[in-house]
Amino acid sequence: MIQTKDNETITWRHPHFWWDALVLAVVWILSFNFPDFVEGIEEKRIFQIIALVASLEMLSYITFNLFGKRHSLIVQGLIGGLASSTTVYVQLTRDQRFLNLNRHQLSTMLLFALAAMLIEALVISVTLSQSMLLHITIMLQLFVSIGFGLKNWRQANHREASAASDFTIPHPIVWPRVLKLTLFIGGLIFVMKLAHEYFTDAKLLAIFITALFEAHAIMAATFLQQNGQPLEFYYFIITLGHCLTKLILVTGTKFFNLMLWPILFIIAISLVTYILSLQSTIIL
């Protein structure tokens, strides 16, 4: 059960849940069947972005509703990561409330928050890309994050991380936030179209800078508007930017050494994948 701001409980029995589920289903149908009325504007892609973002919100809500009460390190990291992995990193590395957790407990939650981000990246990749190499890359990165997370979890104290129970997801889908993110992605696509026509280097810089703060939006926008380079290259740029932010946030903390190697491995996997994609292109 989830408490809203007015203390109304939202569960799967609540009409609000089924209303969101119905609207989401309609949006998915429109994303495949909506006709393109305006030349140069692909209306289907707009509905596809809305459906994808809303589906990730619904996934976060359902997961929190099923497992959030258990307060385990793994579940709390995954739930927070589904909502926003960067927010989890900022909170756990800067909030005084988490000082009572040891470095293995903190690194466990951070690694599973990163794993949650990679799960969402895999959803985007499977939805918007046909590159099996890219799918395998994200799955390998996911295994690295989960593997290191489980290693730290085994070494952590087996007490509840009650301080991590502040993450809440009050509604199945927050449609204003979905629409704002859709506009943001649409704006990125428009900017990248202009950048591709006039400033190719500036496009790559824009992708990298945006990835420092938000990986999913720029990933969806880039995959929808691929030009020139293979998707594996863009994914490497996005991974590099987003992981650098994670490294910066954990720099100077007591668990930096526990986070350094997993993040470097994730970046390295993306780089190797890009090199392999170039080799396959040359062979073809």
Q: Which two tokens stand for residue 248?
A: 């910066």
| CA separation for the pair 269, 272 (Å, rounded) | 5
Please tell me the number of Cα atoms within 13 Å of 17 on its side-chain side.
16
The residue behind tokens 């993040």 is 263
pLDDT band at 201 (very low <50, low <70, confident <90, very high): low
In angstroms and rounded to an integer, the radius of gyration of the C-alpha atoms of the chain is 19
**Residue 284, pLDDT above cutoff 50:** no
Contacts of 7 (CB under 8 A, 6+ apart): none
SS (H, E, C) 136-173: HHHHHHHHHHHHHHHHHHHHCCCCCCHHHHHCCCCCCC
pTM above 0.95, yes or no: no
Mean pLDDT over 181-190 rounds to 70
CB neighbourhood size of 143 (10 A): 13
- Cα 101 to Cα 97, 161, 206, 260: the distances in Å are 9, 7, 37, 19
Name which residue leads in pLDDT, 282 or 256. 256
| Least confident stretch, 54-58, 93-97, 137-141, 177-181 | 93-97
Q: Which two tokens stand for residue 255?
A: 């668990």
Q: What's the one-letter identity of residue 169?
A: I
| CA separation for the pair 186, 134 (Å, rounded) | 23
pLDDT value of residue 4: 47
* Cβ(181)–Cβ(220) below 8 Å: no
* Cα 268 from chain centre: 19
Name which residue leads in pLDDT, 189 or 15. 15
Contacts of 156 (CB under 8 A, 6+ apart): 73, 102, 104, 105, 108
Q: pLDDT digit string (tens) for 47-60?
A: 877 887 787 677 76
**Ranges 63-77, 86-100, 228-242, most confident:** 228-242
Name which residue leads in pLDDT, 273 or 196. 273
| CA separation for the pair 240, 233 (Å, rounded) | 11
Mean pLDDT over 184-194 rounds to 66
Mean pLDDT over 73-88 rounds to 72
pLDDT value of residue 96: 62
Q: pLDDT digit string (tens) for 115-146?
A: 988 998 999 999 888 889 999 999 999 999 99
> What is the per-residue DSSP string for 73-114?
HHHHHHHHHHHHHHHHHHHHHH-GGGTTS-HHHHHHHHHHHH
